């Protein structure tokens, strides 16, 4: 599933082609589940000036100050940039196709759990104000993390890390990796975490996000593709997730369990 590093990768790759002038936009006949709001539809000659990211949202900003697209990639979504329209095979799951003066942007989503909003300024500001600070923002420090845990002391650490209201941008593989790098067992109760644990969690977040962005995101068997249709190489940096042997101690077998309905990985020796 595309998480913060994957969305950041797509954002950076699309940004290389800015500005983009829209020539046409078309939709597949299966977009009713994907398109959540249509305050406007981009017109011919409209300029896409900027791509940005907040949490797992990819944001398109236009020269028209009243036009914004917010895209959440769901389970299997991706924005592909290609010289010409994708062929029938590659474009099979292309649900929104924006032809521009330079490249073709296609929103591809085989499972259609993504969400796309075409918003005016008022609704865009509203949506952004509802969206919490994400884990890569400077204010998201150890103290902030500690204050969240103090407020919710009876949560299971790894499951709570997936709560987008508090840990915006974290998904399943990142949550397992945060626990591992911070040397904390995933089932740890949040109320038991010290200030020092929170410093370790913050350091783990920074390390994982930076590492994953550098390798253009992380792809698990047949999943995420970046804006050029390539797999991310971030899987090389994982220490427990989808690993047999813990990559921190290089010795102990990683334990796979199910926590809150999600696959969870940890090292029984490194994590306490
Ligand atoms: Zn280990």
Cα dihedral 13, 33, 57, 182 sign: negative
Distance of CA 136 from the midpoint of ligand 1 (Å): 26
Specify the pLDDT at position 235: 67
**pLDDT for 3 beyond 80:** yes
Q: Please report which confidence band the pLDDT of residue 220 belongs to, taking 50, 70 and 90 as the band edges.
A: low
Of 56, 80, 115, 155, the catalytic one is 56
Cα separation, 83 vs 267, in Å, equals 45
Distance of CA 75 from the midpoint of ligand 1 (Å): 29
| Residue 158 or residue 209, greater confidence | 158
Distance of CA 201 from the midpoint of ligand 1 (Å): 17
**pLDDT for 222 beyond 70:** no
pLDDT (tens digit, 9 = 90+) per residue, 119-136? 999 999 999 999 899 999
Distance of CA 198 from the midpoint of ligand 1 (Å): 20
Q: Please report which confidence band the pLDDT of residue 7 belongs to, taking 50, 70 and 90 as the band edges.
A: very high
Distance of CA 254 from the midpoint of ligand 1 (Å): 7
Taking alpha carbons only, the member of 128, 138, 192, 203 closest to residue 160 is: 192
Supply the mean pLDDT for the chain. Answer: 93
Catalytic (active site) residue 56? yes
**pLDDT for 30 beyond 80:** yes
Catalytic (active site) residue 256? no
Mean pLDDT of all residues in 181-191:
98
Taking alpha carbons only, the member of 221, 238, 128, 87 closest to residue 173 is: 238
Catalytic (active site) residue 3? yes
Burial label for 262, CB within 10 Å (0-12, 13-18, 19+), is middle
Residues above pLDDT 90, as percent of the chain: 78
Of 36, 61, 183, 262, the catalytic one is 262
Catalytic (active site) residue 85? no
Domains, in order of start, for the chain: 4-130 (3.20.190.10), 142-266 (1.10.8.50)
Specify the pLDDT at position 266: 98
Asked whether 42 and 116 are in contact (CB, 8 A), the reply is: no
pLDDT (tens digit, 9 = 90+) per residue, 61-107? 999 999 999 999 998 899 999 999 998 888 899 999 999 999 999 99
Report phi then psi at 18, rounded to 5: -70, 155
Q: Please report which confidence band the pLDDT of residue 212 belongs to, taking 50, 70 and 90 as the band edges.
A: confident
| Residue 170 or residue 2, greater confidence | 170
Of 3, 6, 46, 177, the catalytic one is 3
Specify the pLDDT at position 233: 66
Distance of CA 147 from the midpoint of ligand 1 (Å): 29
Q: Please report which confidence band the pLDDT of residue 263 belongs to, taking 50, 70 and 90 as the band edges.
A: very high
Specify the pLDDT at position 221: 56
Specify the pLDDT at position 230: 77
Prediction pTM value? 0.85
Specify the pLDDT at position 209: 85
Q: Please report which confidence band the pLDDT of residue 224 belongs to, taking 50, 70 and 90 as the band edges.
A: confident
């Amino acid at each position: 599933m595309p998480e913060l590093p994957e969305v950041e990768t797509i954002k950076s790759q699309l940004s290389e082609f800015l500005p983009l002038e829209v020539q046409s936009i078309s939709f597949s006949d299966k977009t009713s589940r994907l398109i959540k709001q249509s305050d406007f539809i981009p017109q011919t000659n409209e300029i896409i000036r900027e791509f940005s990211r907040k949490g797992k949202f990819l944001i398109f900003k236009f020269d028209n100050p009243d036009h914004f697209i917010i895209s959440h990639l769901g389970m299997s979504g991706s924005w592909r940039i290609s010289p010409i329209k994708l062929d029938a095979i590659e474009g099979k799951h292309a649900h929104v196709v924006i032809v521009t003066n330079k490249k073709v942007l296609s929103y591809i989503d085989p499972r259609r759990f993504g969400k796309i909003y075409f918003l005016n300024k008022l609704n865009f500001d509203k949506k952004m104000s509802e969206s919490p600070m994400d884990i890569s923002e400077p204010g998201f420090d150890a103290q902030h993390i500690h204050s969240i845990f103090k407020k919710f002391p009876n949560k299971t650490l790894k499951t709570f890390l997936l709560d987008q209201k508090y840990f915006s941008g974290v998904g399943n593989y990142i949550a397992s990796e945060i626990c591992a790098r911070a040397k904390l067992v995933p089932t740890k109760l949040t109320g038991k975490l010290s200030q020092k644990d929170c410093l370790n969690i913050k350091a783990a977040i920074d390390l994982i996000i930076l590492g994953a962005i550098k390798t253009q995101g992380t792809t698990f068997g047949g999943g995420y593709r970046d804006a050029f249709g390539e797999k991310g190489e971030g899987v090389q940096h994982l220490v427990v997730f989808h690993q047999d042997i813990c990559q921190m101690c290089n010795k102990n077998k990683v334990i796979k369990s199910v926590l809150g309905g999600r696959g969870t990985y940890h090292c029984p020796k490194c994590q306490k």
